[in-house]
Chain A
Amino acid sequence: MSVDHILTTCPYCGTGCNFFLQVANRRVVGVVPCKTDETSKGSLCIKGYNAHAFVNHPDRLTHPMVKKGGQLTETTWDEAIGKIVSELKRVASAYGTDSIMVLASAKCTNEENYLFQKLARMAIGTNNVDHCARLCHASTVAGLLQSFGSGAMTNTIPEFENADCVLVTGSNTLEAHPLIGARVLKAKEKGAKVVVVDPRDTPLSRVATMSLRQQSGTDVAWINGMINVIISEGLHDKEFVDSRTSGFDELREVVRGYPPEKVEEIAGIPKDDLVKAARIYASAEKAMIAYAMGITQHSNGTNLVRALANLAMITGNVGRESTGVNPLRGQCNVQGACDAGALPNLYPGYQSVEDDETHAKFEKAWGGKLPGKKGMTLTCAFNQALTGDVKAMLIFGENPMMSDPDTGHVEAAISKLEFLAVVDIFPTETAKLADVVLPAACYAEKDGTFTATDRAIRAVRKAADPPGDARPDWKIACDLGKKLGSEGFEFESPEQIMVEMAAVAPIYGGVDYARIEREMVRWPCPTKDHPGTKVLHTESFKIGKGVFAPVEHTPPAEETSEDFPFILTTGRNLFHFHTGTMTRRSVKLQREAPNPYVEVNPVDARALGISDDASVRVSSRRGSITLSARVTPWIRPGTIFIPFHYVEAAANRLTNNALDPIAQIPEFKVCAASVEKA
C-alpha cells in the first residue's frame, strides 16, 4: 500500500494554485493544499478542493473511436490515427491546407500547445490554429500589445495584497478567481480602497468600498468619464505622462466628451459616484486594475482594454509594484497556450508569422517550409465552415458546441464539415459530432507546465496512469506529426519539448525543468541566469513609450427592442467551470449548483409575474432555452444573467456572434433577450 502526495497545478482558473493530489495505490483520491506555495499559501477554493473528483469518473473516454455507420465505435490507436491522417491529407489535397483548422487547448500544457501549433504549421502546413483565448482574452492580447507592447498581466498575484486601491471591473473575482479575490479582500483589510464596477452585484462588490453598476456595454463611457474627472481635477501623473507615454493630447480631447453627467446618461452610474471613484483611484499611491470577461467579451473589447490601459497610464500606475493593468485569465493554461503560439498570427513567444525574419528563423529551427500568411481565428473558422471554406477540423480539448456563441450557428457549421476529429477526456457535446474521437490523459495523468495568469510557469506532475488506452495529448500530437510525414515530432518527454520551445521563444529562453523544479519563474525570462520578471514595463514599455488610445463609446452590436427588451449577460458561477465537462461530474460541485438558472431583478420579475424558482423561457433572436428564475436584487433591472455551464439550458444558444473587429472576440456579454413564463 502506498499513499503519495504529488505536487501539481490546479486545472481550473488561471490563478495557478499548486496543491497535492493524494494518490492511494496509483489512484487519485483527494486534494491537500500546499502551505509553502507562493500563490495559494495553503488555501484553495471549492473547485480546487474538488479537483480530483472527475479524474476517475466512469464517463472518461478510454478508447479511440471512429464513426462507422453513423455510430462512434471503439477501435485501435493505429486505425484512429490512420483515419485522421488520411482524411487530413485528402482534404488538404482537394481543397488546400488552409481548409483545415486546428483548435489547441487552454486546458492542455505549454508543451502540448507548442506541439499543436507546430502540427498545424509544420505538419499540416497552415497557420489556422487558434484556441479559446479567442473567446476570453483575445482583446487583451491585442489591446495591451498595442498600448504597452506586451499582452499579459503587468503585475503578479501576490502584489494585490499591498495595493492601496484595487479597481475591479467585469470580474466576479471571488467566484471566478477565488484566491485572487481573497487577496483583494486582504488588501482591503489592510486599508486599501476596493472599487468594483459591474452590472451585477458580486460577492466582492458586496464587501467593496464602492460598488458602481453600469449598464452592460457602456464601459468606454465610464472609463473615459473617470479619465475626464482625473484630468480636469489635475489628478493625473504629469511626469509619467510626459516621460513615458505618447498621444496624451488626443486622449484629453476625446475624454472631454465624457463629463460625469453624460456618463450617467449613457452608463447609468450616478455622476457623484463616478467622481468619487475616479478620485479614489487617482489619489492612491499604488492602484491596481483587475478585469476579466466583462471587459473583453464585447464587440469593442479591444477598445475597452485600451481604455483601461489609458486609465492606468494617466495616473502613472504602470511599471511599479502593486499597480498595473491585470487581466485575470480564466483557464489553467490560457496564458500558456497564447505564449506557446496557439494563435493564427503569432509563433511561440508572440512573434509575428508575417515578419520575414521570424518566419525564416522558424523555418530554420523546425527544418521545413512554413506558410507565410497568417491563419484564421476560431470564430472566423466556424463562419468559414458554414460557407464551405473550412472542410476539416482537428480539436484538442475544446468544446465549441458549448463554449462558442450562437450554438445553432456552431452546430450548422460543424455539420457542414467533411471531417471532424476531437481529442478529449469526456464525451463532450462536440465529441459526439466527431468522425474520430481520441481519449486523452487529464492533468493528473501527465507531466508538463501551465503558465498562470501572472506569467508564472508552474509544473504539472503525473499522479496516476490515464484510464484504459487514453494517452497524453503531447504523445498524440507527436504521433500525428510523424504519421503526417513531418520531422520534428520525435519527443520522448515534455521536458524535451520545453527545451525546443525555450530555444525559439525568447520570453521563455531561460526556462527549463530544473529551474521550475526549484523556483517560481515568470516570463519574460530570456536567459538561464535571468531571474524572471515580476513587474512589466518598469523602466520603459516594450514598445518604448506607452500609447494612449483615444477611444469612443459605441453601443453594443445588438440593442434591446420591444420583442427582446432585456440585456442578457453571461458568465460563470463559483461552483462550475466553463462547459461543465469536469465540474458537473464532481459530486460536491454539482450539488452546490445543480441546475441552470437565470438571474432576474425583483422589479422585472414582478412585472413579468415570475416568482423565484419559476420555470421561464428565455429567448433571443437566435434561440430559446428553458430554465428556472432566480429572482435577486444582485442583477440590475433590465438585465438578466445566465451562467453558461449547463448543457440542458445552454446560454450560448442565445448569445450573439458579433465580433470585435480587431481581436474577433464575440460579444458574450450583451445580447437582447426576452423572458416569459414557461
Chain B
Amino acid sequence: MRLAFEEKGADYLLATRDEHGNVAPVLLKKGDEPGTLRVDVPYQMAMILTKVNKFVKEGKIAVVARRCDERAIAELVKRDLLDQSRLNLIGLACSAEQVKECRCTDPCPSVVDFGECAEPSGDDASVARLLDMSLSDRLGFWIAQFRKCNKCFGCTLNCPVCFCDECLLEDKTFTPEKGIPPGLAFHLIRAIHLADKCVECGECERSCPVDIPLLSLRKMVSQDMKELFDYVSGDSERRSPLLTTLEGDPMEDDANVC
C-alpha cells in the first residue's frame, strides 16, 4: 500500500493499521513509518477524510477507499466540500463476506488496487420482507425499532454524507430534550434529508448500538429515488433531482389550484 501511496504522488496517506491490538485510522505523512497497514476492518474512510480535511488544507491525500467511500467522496466533491484535485483514491475491493453483510449492489471500486471484486449482492431479503408488509404493519415495525433509539447520534456523526456543520435535527425542535427515544421526526426527516446523497454504505446501521436496521430504511429510500426520479447518488456529475424541482418544463395548470 505504501507503494500505491508513493506511486500516486500524494503527500499524505489516510489508511488503517494495527495499533495497540486494534485497528486504527491513521494519517501518514510522506516518509512516516507505515507500521502494519490493514484493509480488513471497514472504517468509513470518507467520513474520516472529511474530518481530516478540515485541518489538512494543503497537499495531496491518498485515501484507501472502498466503492462506497468513492461514491460518498463524489457526493462531497459535487458540493464543493472536498477538492477532487487534492485526492487520490486507492481502490479497495470489499470481501465477499463484507458485500453480503452490507447487501451491497455496487461493491467494486472504479480502480482496484487491493483485493478482488466480489459479486454484487442480489435480492435484499430484509427490504423485501418490509415491502411485503402492509403499510400499517411497516409503520409498527419502524416505531418498535425507533423506540430503542438512545440518542447517541452515531448515525449522523458517522455518516459520510451528513456534512452540515450543525445538525438541525439534533436541535431540540426535532429531538425534544425530554425525549428518549427522540421521536419519529428525527429518523424520518433524516431519511428524506439524505435521499439524494446516501450511498448505502451502511455505516449508520453498523454504528447503531441497538441494531436499528437503518441500512434497510436507506435502501428503501434509494429505491424510491431510482423509481421516481431515475436518480442514483454517488456520481460527481449527476445532479440531484431534489435541487431541480422549480426548473425545466412549466408546471401543469392544475398545480395552481389549491
Contact = CB atoms under 8 A, between A and B. Distances in A.
Interface of A: 1-5, 7, 18, 20, 22, 24-25, 29-30, 32-37, 42-46, 48-49, 174-175, 178-179, 181-182, 185-186, 189, 203, 206-207, 459, 461, 517-519, 574, 588, 591-594, 630, 632
Contacts of A179: 209
Given A43-B154, A43-B207, A44-B154, A35 B55 contact: no
Contact of A20 (B24, B154, B178, B207): B24
A5 B23 contact: no
A185 B154 contact: no
A2 B27 contact: yes
Q: How large is the interface on B (under 10, 10 to 19, 20 to 34, 35 or more residues)?
A: 35 or more
Contact of A44 (B24, B57, B58, B152): B152
A43 B209 contact: yes
A459 B21 CA distance: 11
Nearest to B11: A1
Given A32-B48, A588-B170, A43 B24 contact: no
A182 B51 contact: no
Interface stretch (B143-151, B220-228, B241-249): B143-151
A574 B180 CA distance: 9
A35 B43 contact: yes
Contact of B20 (A7, A22, A42, A592): A7
A181 B150 contact: yes
Given A33-B207, A43-B207, A185-B210, A49 B147 contact: no
Contacts of B48: 32
Interface in B85-103: none
Nearest to A20: B24
B206 A42 contact: yes
B52 to A, nearest CB: 5
Contact of A207 (B26, B27, B51, B147): B147
Contacts of B207: 33, 42-43
A519 B208 contact: no
A36 B209 contact: no
Contacts of A32: 25, 48, 51
B25 A206 contact: no
A597 to B, nearest CB: 9
A517 B56 contact: no
Given A43-B207, A185-B210, A34 B150 contact: no
A593 B176 CA distance: 10
Contact of B19 (A7, A24, A35, A574): A7
B20 A3 contact: no
Contacts of B153: 46, 49
Contacts of B29: 2
Contacts of B83: none
8 contacts: A5-B25, A7-B24, A20-B24, A20-B25, A45-B152, A203-B150, A203-B181, A461-B20
B41 interface: yes
Given A46-B151, A189-B211, A517 B25 contact: no
B22 interface: yes
A203 B178 CA distance: 12
Residue of A32, A185, A593 contacting most chain B CB atoms (<10 Å): A32
A181 B57 CA distance: 41
Nearest to B32: A2
A58 B21 CA distance: 35
Nearest to B26: A5
B157 interface: yes
Contact of A3 (B41, B52, B152): B52
A514 to B, nearest CB: 11
Contact of A178 (B24, B57, B177, B209): B209
Interface in B139-179: 147-148, 150-154, 157-158, 170-172, 177-178
Contact of B21 (A33, A175, A182, A518): A518
Given A49-B153, A174-B180, A574-B180, A182 B27 contact: no
Residue of B57, B148, B158 contacting most chain A CB atoms (<10 Å): B148
A485 B6 CA distance: 57
A175 B150 CA distance: 8
Contacts of A207: 147-148
A375 B54 CA distance: 53
Nearest to A594: B177
A29 B56 CA distance: 13
B20 A518 contact: yes
In the complex, the 7 A-B pairs of residues with the closest C-beta atoms, listed nearest first: A182-B209, A43-B209, A24-B55, A518-B21, A36-B22, A3-B27, A36-B23
Given A5-B24, A7-B20, A175-B180, A46 B152 contact: yes
B43 A185 contact: no
B27 A4 contact: yes
Given A29-B55, A43-B207, A49-B153, A592 B22 contact: no
A15 to B, nearest CB: 11
Contacts of B154: 33, 43-44, 49
Contacts of B41: 35-36
Contacts of A18: 22
